[in-house]
Amino acid sequence: MTVLKKIFSIFRLSPDYQGRVFGLDLMRALAIIFVVMSHGSMLEKANTDFPWIRLVNGVELFFVLSGFLIGGILIKNFQKTNSFGIKEIYNFWIRRWFRTLPNYYLVLILNIIVVYFGLINEDLSQFSWKFFLFLQNFSQPLVGFFWESWSLSVEEWFYILFPVILASFYFLFRRFKVSKKYIFLYSIILFLILSFLLRAFYASKFEVDDFWLDVRVFKVVIYRLDGIALGLLAAFIKYWYPSFWHKSRNVSFVLGIIICYVVLYTVWAPNEFITKVFKISFQSIGCFLLLPKFDSMKTAPPLVTKVVTHISLISYSMYLLNLALVAEVIQTNFPPKDKFGAWVLYVVYWIAVIVFSTLLYKYYERPIMNLRDKLKR
């Protein structure tokens, strides 16, 4: 028992449960579970037919939830200061980058190594300096090497641009005595409109099939900023209209589930204007409508809370590790010969993702995050 306790202690995270909202942890946990299940389906290439469940789009959940959580932080910081400029933007970026960049760059280097040594079947010529600046899919599609990084570029560029726009609007509108509430709202609306207009422009110029619609539109930064903006809109509603936020949670949740299912299981013609422009918006709106209900779930049974919180905490590491460094390594080097072997490898895949992600979070990601307050101005 002593040996087992020592082994388990290596993976124990011991978070502060009192300072967390169970429903939001559950939302993040579900998002990463759907993503990992989806990526694990690549093992179907080994003549098996693993079923994997799609309830909602996992990445879309991440976008909207990220916008909601960080939007809440931005609103509070924006409200409590008499100015919003370089100092506030710097502090926001430092906190953000200490959370995201160390893991990203470490896993990027690991991807280069495994491709260089032939552990996965990717082409290293697809790697460029753009990966270091999150420009790999800024306006052009990303295919192949470290493909899953597309969503990280979307998030990083949104959180680079939004505070700058917010500060600019604050500087422009405060002389007209526009309240901070509406300055924040106008900043959100700008990103929603911009994404819509850019997708509409693309839809009027290019024809694509299902694959290239996903790659050229749905996974390119300039077309995808509205998902996170909707999360910020949710934070806006909760902060300034808390009564409506609370009362609407059940109806909103049902509508959100319906929209998510309809979007996922409708057959969309890739070259239709509505598909190119609105399909991804419908997904984001569905996830947006789920937020009030999840935000109202404050507690759960202890065991459920522990499991959900653990997965939530390691979700970023899971996202970075699961595809190239686990699923593709398994598929390339240990291709199963039958269905049973494929099922065994699928279980190994999940165990490896959770184990490696826990270690990465506990011994690398979290210690670095703890340093970020030292660099605040």
Name the region of 156 (left: φ>0; alpha: ψ -120 to 50; beta: rest).
Answer: alpha
The average pLDDT across 121-129 equals 91
List of residues 6+ apart from 187 with CB closer than 8 A: 162, 165, 166, 169
Name the region of 220 (left: φ>0; alpha: ψ -120 to 50; beta: rest).
Answer: beta
Q: How far apart are CA 89 and CA 95, in angstroms?
A: 10
Instruction: Look at residue 66 and tell me whether its pLDDT is greater than 90.
Output: yes
List of residues 6+ apart from 162 with CB closer than 8 A: 74, 187, 191, 229, 232
- Band of pLDDT at residue 373, cut at 50, 70 and 90: low
**Tens of pLDDT, residues 126-163:** 999 999 999 999 999 998 899 999 999 999 999 999 99
Instruction: Look at residue 3 and tell me whether its pLDDT is greater than 90.
Output: no
pLDDT value, residue 47: 45
Q: Identify which of 65, 88, 85, 64 has the alpha carbon closest to the alpha carbon of residue 76.
A: 88
Q: Given the structure tokens 């160390």, which residue do they identify?
A: 102
The answer to whether the beta carbons of residues 374 and 367 sit under 8 Å apart is no
pLDDT value, residue 116: 94
**Tens of pLDDT, residues 321-333:** 999 999 999 999 9
- Band of pLDDT at residue 34, cut at 50, 70 and 90: very high
Q: Identify which of 201, 206, 199 has the alpha carbon closest to the alpha carbon of residue 225.
A: 199
pTM comes to: 0.93
The H or E element that residue 336 is part of is none
- Band of pLDDT at residue 76, cut at 50, 70 and 90: very high
pLDDT value, residue 337: 81
- Band of pLDDT at residue 48, cut at 50, 70 and 90: very low
What mean pLDDT, rounded, does the chain reach? Answer: 91
Its sign, for the CA torsion 164, 166, 170, 173, is positive
Q: How far apart are CA 240 and CA 229, in angstroms?
A: 16
The average pLDDT across 171-185 equals 93
Q: How far apart are CA 321 and CA 304, in angstroms?
A: 24
With b meaning 16 or more CB within 10 Å and e meaning fewer, what string describes 306-338? eebbbbbbbbbbbbbbbbbbbbbbbbeeeebee
Which of 142-150's residues contact partners 24+ apart within 8 Å by CB, and which partners? Answer: 142/215, 142/219, 143/215, 145/111, 145/115, 146/108, 146/111, 146/324, 147/323, 147/324, 148/39, 148/319, 148/320, 148/322, 148/323, 148/324, 149/104, 149/108, 150/219, 150/220
Q: How far apart are CA 330 and CA 334, in angstroms?
A: 5
Joined together, the tokens standing for residue 377 give 């101005």
Q: How far apart are CA 250 and CA 38, in angstroms?
A: 28
**Tens of pLDDT, residues 183-234:** 999 999 999 999 999 999 887 777 777 788 888 889 999 999 999 999 999 9
With b meaning 16 or more CB within 10 Å and e meaning fewer, what string describes 30-42? bbbbbbbbbbbbe
8-state DSSP, 143: -
Comparing 200 with 295, which gets the higher pLDDT?
295
Residue 22: CA count within 13 A, CB half-sphere: 13
Joined together, the tokens standing for residue 17 give 């449960």
pLDDT value, residue 54: 66
Q: Identify which of 105, 111, 32, 110 has the alpha carbon closest to the alpha carbon of residue 350.
A: 32
Number of Cβ within 10 Å of residue 87's Cβ equals 12
